[in-house]
Chains A and B, each alone.
Chain A
Amino acid sequence: MNTIKTWIHQHQLGGLLALALLILVILPAGLDIFRLNLFGKYLTYGFVSIGLVMLWGHSGILSLGQGVFFGLGGYCMAMFLKLEASDPISTRIQSTPGIPDFMDWNQLTALPLWWQPFHSLTFTLLAVVLVPTLLAFCISFAMFKRRVSGVYFAIITQAVALILSVLIIGQQGVTGGVNGITDLKTLLGWDIRSNSARYILYFANAGLLLACIWGCMWIQKTKLGTLLLAMRDKEDRVQFSGYDVANFKVFAFCLAAALSGIGGAMFTLQVGFMSPSFVGIIPSIEMVIFAAVGGRLSLVGAVVGTLLVNLGRSYFSESFPDLWLFLMAALFIGVVMAFPNGLAGLLDSHIKPWLARRAASRQTPVAATGDPVVPASITPTQDLPLPTTIQAQPE
């Protein structure tokens, strides 16, 4: 058992495993499908939050427009599902059968050209990641190469969020307008509204989120991760060490956008629609609050923060709908002022030292028994999967 403990500790996987336990075992075991589906929805915001950890906490670039990328990913998925739901038979009462209902209501008589590729699932899955990434690339390349940074960059991202939501609402005929794209039914003939589909989608979403966290942890450990951290603290030093800092910032922004896009697509699949209310300024700022409350330096913390804030939202917005926004703002200001590194920071600075002190005072008398000897041959290597380690050590 000790080797597993060291292995987990060495790779700092404790938090990730605890999160996996929570979202893969505890939540599905303890909640009915309606509540679980709700948690699945919250977890899709988790993708945005971990993107913000990489972008804001790790690289020091605040974006107040992550809703844009969440929305783009979600819309790409929604367009595919809408086309599948709009086959000529089920839309035969329309004046132009075979096109999405909202197009028909807006007197469109043919599917716009740029909707056509979304008949293909492969294209859609690529677009879910690439469309947000490409837009992120264009914005960030233009800004960072011109040395726009800090609060000015944050304001630009907010402007983009406003522009995109206005654009979507204005172009009702091709986007579904303020209602968004609704009535999504099947994915390649598989009914995504059934309970079994919701279970499967929940687990797919949770697994994907854990995989993304793991990927981000890996990036943090590479030289790229170190450089992003170095850039956050001493940008001049990085630049005058021969690095083109703009390129590294572009990467961080694109990474966060790609993650948000995946989250958006999972949202559409689990909730069954996508609308501009997830694109604009308010949702984008809410997403920043999720990451701030959980801890902008901790990937796992940010996901936990996302779950907690959303739980709070669904409780308070039912009981005190008018007060919710004020409460949310107060929460944000409070967190930033009192504990800027969020719940995860609180855990590191207060709870862990306290636990360590307690453990130390308890352990002193038993220290003489010594640690069990671990044979060198079964010391796990980096790529040894976890189950093998357990078999090798049948204690």
Chain B
Amino acid sequence: MSNTDFVLAIEDLTVSFDGFKAIDTLNLYIDREELRVIIGPNGAGKTTLLDLICGKTRASGGSIKFKNTEITRMAEHKIVRAGVGRKFQTPSIYENLSVFKNLEVSFPQGRSVFGALRFKTSTEVIARIHAVAEEIGLEALLHTEAGLLSHGQKQWLEIGMLLMQEPELLMLDEPIAGMSARERELTAELLQRICRKRSMIVIEHDMEFVRRIAHKVTVMHQGKILAEGSMDKVQNDAKVIDVYLGH
């Protein structure tokens, strides 16, 4: 395949677990500064797709290119360093550390063993931690132990930890699951703000929320793409109504 302007270009991606094709010859292109939402019934392969992009699962075939660089067989930490950030479904934060430390550890400096030994919390790092904490609304809680945060705040903290790395592609797996209405509201605003500088892929089930944030929607079903386009187009697609949205 030739070079493209896409941030992420996935072509013919396939992965099979014992003969079961969780992802089946899938093609997906993400533009710069695009916020793409992936929806689909359970078991459609949405989370597996994110696992494949970030290197957690290895593809059986096909290619994943990030900014025209093949990342299909790259080591996980190198994919991150190339600029791909991934948030897990359940909040994955360091519960025993303070919010400040959680963000500090995520700062992309001192990533080697001896680099980490020499790492100093410079004013630049502190400034960045404060900027990100303000963005995610946790500035007043910087010195709180992360385990004591509410569920919604933990989700934001993990997003903040990814923002510390300034990724060009940010992938979020069900970021508003278990959030209150108010928290969903704030999260939608947060996602809209942060996608001004980067591309994002969000997996979500809440249609209200999807309508609010999505630039484009991709519907997955049985490891394949069922439909793609604007929310209105997808919602009126006969196949989508049939397998997912229901009559």
- Give me the interface of A with B, judged by CB distance under 8 Å: 219, 222-224, 226-227, 229-230, 233-234, 236-245, 247-248, 250-251
A341 → chain B closest CB, angstroms: 13
Q: CB distance A234 to B92 under 8 Å?
A: yes
| CB neighbours of B28 from chain A (8 A) | none
Q: Is the CB of A241 within 8 A of B113?
A: no
Q: Interface extent on B, as a size class? A: 20 to 34
State whether B94 touches A242 (Cβ < 8 A): no
Contact of A239 with B88 in the complex, beta carbons under 8 Å = no
- Proximity string of chain B (102-142) to chain A, C-beta cutoff 8 Å, 1 when within and 0 when not: 00111010111100111100000000000000000000000
Further contacts, 6 of them, CB under 8 A, given A223-B104, A244-B75, A244-B111: A224-B119, A234-B92, A241-B161, A242-B77, A243-B77, A243-B111
Q: Does B197 contact A (CB under 8 A)?
A: no
CB of B81 within 8 Å of the partner chain: yes
Query: Quick check: is B222 within 8 A (CB to CB) of the other chain?
Result: no
Contact, CB under 8 Å: B116 / A224: yes
Instruction: List 23 interface pairs A-B (beta carbons < 8 Å), by A numbering.
Output: A219-B117, A222-B117, A222-B119, A223-B104, A223-B105, A223-B119, A224-B113, A224-B117, A226-B101, A229-B97, A233-B96, A237-B158, A239-B77, A240-B77, A240-B85, A241-B105, A242-B77, A242-B80, A242-B111, A244-B77, A247-B112, A247-B113, A251-B113
Asked whether B88 lies within 8 Å of A236 as measured between CB atoms, the reply is: yes
Q: Which of A226, A243, A244 makes the CB contact (< 8 A) with B97?
A: A226
Residue B93, interface by CB 8 Å: yes
Q: Could you say which residues of chain B place their CB within 8 Å of the CB of A242? A: 77, 80-81, 108, 111, 165
Q: Is B76 an interface residue (CB 8 A)?
A: yes
The 5 A-B residue pairs with the shortest CB-CB distance, nearest first, are: A242-B80, A223-B119, A224-B116, A223-B116, A237-B92
Interchain CB contact under 8 A, A237 and B116? no
Q: How far is the CB of A263 from chain B (nearest CB, A)?
A: 23
**Chain A neighbourhood of B81, CB < 8 A:** 242
In the complex, the answer to whether B96 meets A229 with C-beta atoms within 8 Å is yes
* Residues of B contacting A223 in the complex (Cβ-Cβ under 8 angstroms): 104-105, 110, 116-117, 119
Decide: B77 and A230 in contact? CB cutoff 8 A.
Answer: no
B86 within 8 A of A: yes
Which of A224, A234, A239, A250 is B76 in contact with, Cβ under 8 Å?
Answer: A239
Q: Which of B93, B94, B108, B111 contacts A229 (CB 8 A)?
A: B94
Please tell me if the beta carbons of B93 and A241 are within 8 angstroms of each other in the complex: no
Beyond A223-B105, A226-B105, A234-B92, is A240–B112 a contact (Cβ under 8 Å)? no
The CA of A284 and the CA of B79, in the complex, are separated in Å by 39
- Give B45-73 interface residues, CB cut-off 8 Å to A: 54, 56
In angstroms, Cα B120 to Cα A224, docked, is: 11
Task: Kindly provide the distance from the CB of B228 to the nearest chain A CB, expressed in whole angstroms.
Answer: 27
